[in-house]
Amino acid sequence: AQSVSQHNHHVILSEAASLELGCNYSYGGTVNLFWYVQYPGQHLQLLLKYFSGDPLVKGIKGFEAEFIKSKFSFNLRKPSVQWSDTAEYFCAVNPILTGGGNKLTFGTGTQLKVEL
């Protein structure tokens, strides 16, 4: 079964610092990749997604992620974080399988706290 690893469980940054959250997955075939964010007290929402094409994808609120196929990675980045970026971030992978049955596998999440 495929797995998704998010190595940073808790990250604390000061405002304006740069952010990079790691995500690695284990599936060797074609994948769709996602980052979801959950702000305090809010529901999970899509931050950005990669289906195909340019491996550098841009999402909402200045976030971007780079798909590196050779490293099985899809790291999330933001050049300058804000206090409002405090949230939990989840990486998710959908392996493209023939015959249907596709579903998302989520990582364990990274709790980001941005301090003023």
Partner 1 sequence: DVKVTQSSRYLVKRTGEKVFLECVQDMDHENMFWYRQDPGLGLRLIYFSYDVKMKEKGDIPEGYSVSREKKERFSLILESASTNQTSMYLCASSSQARYNEQFFGPGTRLTVL
Site residues for partner 1, 34-93, by CB under 8 A, read 34, 36, 42-46, 49, 51, 90, 92
CB of 68 vs partner 1, minimal distance in Å: 21
Cα separation, 83 vs 1, whole angstroms: 37
CB 96 within 8 A of CB 33: no
Cα separation, 94 vs 88, whole angstroms: 20
Given candidates 18, 103, 113, 115, which one binds partner 1 under the rule CB under 8 A?
103
Closest CA to 76 of 9, 25, 13, 6: 6
CB of 26 vs partner 1, minimal distance in Å: 14
Instruction: Return the number of the residue (14 or 45) whose C-beta is nearest partner 1.
Output: 45
Instruction: Return the number of the residue (30 or 80) whose C-beta is nearest partner 1.
Output: 30
Q: Which helix (H) or strand (E) holds 112?
A: strand 110-115
Cα separation, 83 vs 69, whole angstroms: 32
CB of 60 vs partner 1, minimal distance in Å: 13
Tell me which residues touch partner 1 (CB under 8 A).
1, 6, 9, 32, 34, 36, 42-46, 49, 51, 90, 92, 94, 100-109
